[in-house]
Structures are given as C-alpha cells and as structure tokens.
Amino acid sequence: MHRYLLLLCVLAGLLAGAALALQGEALAARIVWSVVALPVAAHVALGVARALLGGRLGVDIIALAAILVAVALDEAAAAALIALMVAGGEALEAWAEGRATRALHDLMARAPRTAARLGPDGLEEIPADAIRPGDMLLVRPGETVAADGELRDAVATLDESVLTGEPLPVQMALGAALRSGAMNAGGAFRMCAATGAEASTYAAILRLTRAAAQSRPPLARLADQWALGFVLLTALLAGGAWLLTGDAVRALAVLVVATPCPLILAAPIALVAGIGRAARRGVVVKGGGALERLARIRTVLFDKTGTLTPGRPQLAATEAIPALGRQEALRLAASLAQGSTHPVSAALVAVARARGLKLAAPTEVEERPGGGLLGLVEGQHLSLGSQGFMEALGVARTEQLGALASVSVAAGSVAWLAAGGATIAAFVMADGLRPEAPRAVRRLRALGIGRLVMVSGDRAVAAASIGAALRLDAVLAECTPAEKIAVVQREQALAPTAMVGDGVNDAPALAAADVGIAMGAQGTAAAAEAGDVVLVVDRLDRVAEAVAIARRSRRIAFGAIALGMGLSGLAMLAAAAGELPPLAGALLQEAIDVGAILFALTALRPGADERNPGAVPADAGLSERLAEHAGLKRLLERLREAGEAVDGSPAALPAIQALEKEMLSALLPHQREEERLLYPEAARQLGGQDPMAALVRMHTGIEALVGRISALLVIAGREGGWAQAAPELRRSLFALEALLALHLSAEEEALAEFSLQA
C-alpha cells in the first residue's frame, strides 16, 4: 500500500508544480518538484544501502544518481519525472506481483480456520488446529473441508478446483477419501477426520506455497549480475558524453533512460506468474529456482508403481475349469475374498460387484498373512492365494490351468482358487497403466524431452511390460533406493534430469535429481518434502504441463529483459548523442518499463504447449458411454468363451445367438450414440482434422464383424449348416473380441482428458 501512496504523493506534487509553472511561478514550481523528488531519492538511497549491506550493488543507484544530478543541474521537472518513474515502477511492480501471485494467495485464503465437530453434546465450533484423528465433522454448504478424512454420508458434492484446477464439482460416495481444501458445493455431509488440520493435504500445500512465494528466483540473481554490468555501461556512456561534449545535461539524459527496471522487475514477475499459472493447474512449484531448472530438463526418470501405474492390482484375466466357468469362478473367489482387506481380495470383490454377481457370505474365514485365504462358501471349502500358498496346502494344480504358471511370470501375479484339493480357477492380477500415462509420455516427447526412463524397484518382467507399452527409452528394474540415486547421477552427467515418484523409497532420488517431481495427491509425505515440484492432483500428465509452463515462463522472462533493455540501450545512445532531453527521456523510460512488465505478465496465460481441450457438455453423453464400457468388457470375455466353445457339435449355438442379440441391442446402439453426440463434440474440443476418424473406422469394422456373425448364424441354424459355418464363426468371434478390445482401449485413452475433467 505504501508504494501506491508514494506514487500518489509524487503525482500530486508533479501536477501542483505544473500548475504553478503555467501561472508563471517558475521558482515555486522548481521548489515543489524538488521537494517531491528528494523523498523518493531518500527512499531509493535506503534501498541501495540495504542492498549493499546484503552484499550486492543496488541497481537503483542509477535512479538515485539521476534524481540527484537533475536537482543539482536545476532540472527540477526532470527530477520529478524520474521520481514519478521510480514510484510508478514500484507501484506497477506491486500490481504485477499481485496478478502473478493471485493463485497462490487464493490457496492461502481458502485455508479453513474453524470446523464443526459432532460430539456427545451436539455440534460445536472448534478451531481447525484442534481437529484430531477420529473426530466426526459436519461440513456445511460452502464450507471448506478442514482435514483429510472419510465421507460418512451417502453422497457429497465437492468443488476441488483449488486442489486440481478442474472447474467441475465431483460427486463422492459413502466411504470416499476426502482431501482438505475442497469446498462443499452441495448439501451438508458428515466426515470422519483421518488427520489433524496441520497434517492434512491442504496444510502441506500451504507450506509448499509459502516456500514458493518466499523463494528468490535464480534468474532474478542473474538479472542482478547483468544489472551490475549495466551500471558500469551507464557510467561509461554518461561520463563519456559529458567529457566529450562538456554538456552535463546529456549525462543526466543518459542516467534518466538507463534505469534498469525491466531487468530487475520483469524477470521475477514472469517466473512468479509461471508459479501462479502452475498452481492453478494443481502443480506446486517450490520457487522460481525450481521453475527455472524445470525449464532446462532434457531427461525424465519415472518410478513405476503409483507413478506410471495406479499402484492397485487389477484383474487382467480369468481362467477356470470348463465345468465351473469363468463367471462362477469369479463369484466364488470374490465371495471368499470378502473376508480379507488385501488389495488382491479387494480387486476381486470390486470386479465381481461391478459385473452384478451375487456374492455369498463366507464363513470360517482364516487369513494367513503373505499367503492367502481359507473359508467356507455355500458349504464348499475353498482356498484362495498365491502359488506358494497352494503348494504349502498340498493343492494339486489342475492340468487345464497349468499354462497359467508361466502367465504369472509375465503378467504380474496369479491368485489361485482351489476346492477339493485341486485348483479350479486362476485370476491374473496386474497393475495396469494410468489412463493418462501414454498421453503424458507423448506430450513430454513433443516438448523435446529426449530420454524417458523407468527406474523401478519392481520385478524386471512386470516393469518391462509397462516400459514397452509406453515406448520408454530404458527400463531399470529391481533398483534399491541407493541404486536409484546412482541412476539419477549417471543421467545428470549427460543432461539436466528430473525424477518423478511417489513413495518413501523415491524420496532420496527426488532429492538428488535436478528437479524432483512428487506425486503428492496419493504419494507419501516424504516424497512431497523431497520434491521441488509437487503434483497435488493425481494425474501424471501434469508433469508435461509443468514443463511447458516452466519453459514458457523462462522464455518470457528473457524476452522481457531483452525487450526492455534493448529499448533502454537505444534510448541511452540517443540521449548521449543529444537527441533525447532528460524530460522526454523520463517519459520514454516509463513507457519502456510498463511495456516490459506487461510482457512479463503474459506468462499468466496458457501457451500453445499447455492448452488442453475443455470439458465436453453433459448432454454429449460421455459419462454414460464410459459407464457402458464395463458391460462391453464383460462381452469380450463371453466372445472369447463362445469362440473356444465352437467345435464339431452345435452345442454352442444358443449361447452365440444370445451374444448376437446383446450385440445388436447394446453394442451397436452404443456406437451409434457415440458417433451422434460424443465424437463430434470431442473432435471440436481436440481440434485438428478429424481426430476421431480412427475410432469411427473401428466402429465400421466391428459392425461388419457383427453382420458376418449374424449371417453365419443363419447358415449354422440350417440342417447340416453347423459344420459349414463353424470354422468361420470361430474366427469371426475371436476377430471381434480382438478388435473390440483394441477399440475400447483406444477410445478410453482418446477420451481420458475429458473423463478426468468430468
């Protein structure tokens, strides 16, 4: 505020002096102008002294010299204009910093200060720092969630824009994990606090934000070094003009236009604007130094689990003895798995419920840590667990499932289901890719990142499949934390290197890298503390976005310096040649300062490398179409089962006919709705020439295969027609399964940006 007051005082004095000069009171005018200029000179002198005590030469010494020389040469009007330039520059700096740091201040302003706690005596208002784990809190409409915790009501609607940068509210269901900092955009709900306010997600973000706001960017230090050289150049030009011409006014004119405001203001403003821009996108950058280093990155190392993958096992495939069938095998296994909280058990139960299977209540459940489960389901003794667990129980492997032993090596792990002393089913579990991971890798490539490497502590075979899917340059598996540090140091010797990770074992490597990028939304506190950049939204594609923001901010900072100092240099030459008097020079320098700072503020806007498609409107049917994918994935399994069942007898004909009806009533209408509403809107948002063409072409292929199966079923239904149609029917079923699986994967990736926004 004092900067604005100083500007108002100088402006008032300048106008008062001008009024006196117009009335013919020249002496009084010069006195007024000198009076308003000298306090500004004292203010600048104080800043120069502080800089000298801090071990650096204050670049404002040029402005100080210009004011004092102008007063000494009786150029009071020029002195007042220089004072206006200095005061205006400081006021403009305050305004620009306010614009650049608005996102950071918004984060701090949203910090919850109180909470409503439900206790034995009813509802009580408590300070946020009094929240303890286990407290039951009531979050009312418009209030901010004060601590991390678990939703205890059926539904809650939250605005997480301050955490994620996404504008649309999200729906949470009973038991969902809630993060502090989100705002209640719906009705009141209850939650159970998992942490105190100081240990919450939002408190950690605020600590990182304060550190970012207080950090002095290295580019600003570099600007100070350049400014020192600029001071010497100014002294040479001003002194040379005076000595060669004997005209002290020329020296004054050089000093007036030489004030390096673009150098000392524009660079830090551009970097702080970049930090604010990143904060809006859910990326907390710990200061301008981290932002500048991020802009120079040429190699990115990734951890695997929790970074490139969600870190949760997912059911990849199911095999069962023919007498049982895959669906029944999954139902039995999931029924038993209800008795365990192990991630594999949770994954089996989630898939079974998603498929609408009716689970039975298990009894006499016994869980053996590190092994598996034993229990009774519908009167049948079952065991579910790893291969080692089955061997310890003396369970024999059924010959039909023997091939799964080799699959477990490549896919990740296999959970075996046994009954009657023999295995009856196997469930291949794998930690799949994050849906946004392929796009994140492609965007990093497009930004010129030349080397992408996975550095994982996981098994080599499991890591290799992820690396191959993402087309990474190298995959280094089974690495200890010390080995990860060695990899970082080896890569750093070749190019500036960033490390992306989320776990405690990644923290040393994050700290060792030129830039450590922590997946802070779901990662550990150790990783967030060690990282220079923290992603507070659980999306890997924000890594590429952060790099794009950093590069653009650094480019704009140097552009602002070049623009401002280039124009100032030309003005200095004109002043030294006597073509620019002090008064006009002061006005010109003010315009140069404004232009350089406004150019630096363009870092607040997204650049071409950062632009993302907007969210598709709700009436495009995105959520409905993606929800239908679960049913289509079940259709994939039934297509494979039907293909496997095709043999010399027509026993499989009724099942294939039922599949045909489902494809005609569900699959093809699904595709038509996508092409009618969803694809046109997605294409409009994505831009380019027909970005959905490949998906539409797949639709055409799927329709052709469905039509071929329908035609073959007509032939197969005739007398003696089964033998004629069966070979081609088998091939068509397998071809449709393969094409549909590919299409669903490609479509989910193409629409991932929209689905994550929604």
Q: Is residue 408 part of a domain?
A: yes
CATH number at residue 737: 1.20.120
- Same domain, yes or no, for 325 and 400? yes
| Residue whose pair of structure tokens reads 């950062």 in the numeric block | 610
- Same domain, yes or no, for 72 and 30? yes
- Same domain, yes or no, for 323 and 410? yes
- Same domain, yes or no, for 190 and 79? no
Q: Is residue 416 part of a domain?
A: yes
Domain end residue (candidates: 195, 228, 248): 195
Find the domain containing 149 and state its range.
Answer: 132-195
The pLDDT, as a whole number, for residue 208 is 56
Q: Distance of CA 154 to CAs 122, 133, 150, 171, 188, Å?
A: 21, 21, 11, 10, 11
Residue ranges of the chain with per-residue pLDDT less than 50: 100, 165, 167, 212-213, 216, 405, 408-409, 758
- Same domain, yes or no, for 176 and 220? no
- Same domain, yes or no, for 750 and 644? yes
The pLDDT, as a whole number, for residue 687 is 72
Nearest by Cα to 278 from 549, 609, 498, 603:
549
CA distance 454 to 433: 13
| Residue whose pair of structure tokens reads 């006014």 in the numeric block | 249
Q: Is residue 498 part of a domain?
A: no
CA distance 118 to 566: 64
DSSP per-residue letters across 569-610: HHHHHHHHTTSS-HHHHHHHHHHHHHHHHHHHGGGGS--TTT
- Same domain, yes or no, for 563 and 424? no
Interstrand relation of 155-159 and 183-184 (parallel, antiparallel or unpaired) = antiparallel
| Residue whose pair of structure tokens reads 């403003």 in the numeric block | 269
Q: Which helix (H) or strand (E) segment is 467 a member of?
A: helix 460-470
Q: How many CB atoms lie within 10 A of CB 28?
A: 15
Phi, psi of 454 (to 5 degrees): -95, 130
Q: Which of 303, 502, 506, 541 is catalytic?
A: 303
Q: Is residue 679 part of a domain?
A: yes
State the SS3 of 364-393: EEEEECCCEEEEEECCEEEEEECHHHHHHH
CA distance 353 to 47: 68
CA distance 681 to 617: 8
Q: Is residue 124 part of a domain?
A: no
Asked if 535 contacts 557 with a C-beta cutoff of 8 angstroms, the reply is no
- Same domain, yes or no, for 627 and 737? yes
Please write the tens of the pLDDT for every residue from 201-221: 667 656 655 554 455 456 555
- Token readout for 125 is 């208002």
pTM of the model: 0.69
Coil, strand or helix at 316: strand
- Same domain, yes or no, for 90 and 144? no
- Same domain, yes or no, for 747 and 647? yes
- Same domain, yes or no, for 27 and 61? yes
CATH number at residue 393: 3.40.1110.10
Asked if 604 contacts 281 with a C-beta cutoff of 8 angstroms, the reply is no
Q: What is the total count of domains within the chain?
A: 4
Q: Is residue 93 part of a domain?
A: yes
CA distance 634 to 626: 14
Domain end residue (candidates: 384, 399, 430): 430
Q: Is residue 444 part of a domain?
A: no
Q: Is residue 187 part of a domain?
A: yes
CA distance 729 to 204: 59
CA distance 590 to 200: 46
Confirm whether 60 is a catalytic residue: no
- Same domain, yes or no, for 16 and 54? yes
Please write the tens of the pLDDT for every residue from 362-390: 988 888 765 688 999 988 999 998 877 88
Domain end residue (candidates: 400, 415, 430): 430
Q: How far apart are the first and last CA of the chain?
A: 41
